Amino acid sequence: MSNTLKTNQDRVVEMFLACKPGMPRVGLGWKVDHRGTPFLMPGIGGITLNVQVGDPAFGLAGDHIEPGVSCTANAEKPNEFPNTSLQILSCIGNEAIIVSGDAKGEKGVVIGHHGGSEHIIVDFPKEIKEKMTYDDKIQIRARGQGLALTDYPAIKLFNLDPALLEKMTITETGDGKLRVPVTTKVPAPCMGSGVGRAHVAAGDYDVMTSDPDTVKKYDLDKMRFGDFVALMDHDNSYGRAFVQGAVSIGVVVHSDCLLAGHGPGISTVMTCPKSLIEPVIDPAANIADVLGIGTRVS
Where are the domains positioned within the chain?
13-142, 156-291
The model's pLDDT over 64-103, given as tens digits with 9 standing for 90+, comes to 999 999 999 999 999 999 999 999 999 999 999 999 999 9
pLDDT of residue 116: 87
CATH T-level fold of 156-291: tm1086 (SG structure) fold (2.102.30)
CA of 115: how far to CAs of 141, 249, 266, in Å?
Answer: 21, 17, 10
Same fold, 13-142 and 156-291: no
* Per-residue exposure over 148-165, b if at least 16 CB sit within 10 Å of its own CB, e if not: ebeebeebbbbbbbbebb
pLDDT of residue 27: 85
- In CATH, what number does 13-142 get? 2.40.10.170
Length reported for the chain: 298
Stretches in the chain below the pLDDT threshold 50: 1-3
The model's pLDDT over 99-112, given as tens digits with 9 standing for 90+, comes to 999 999 999 999 99
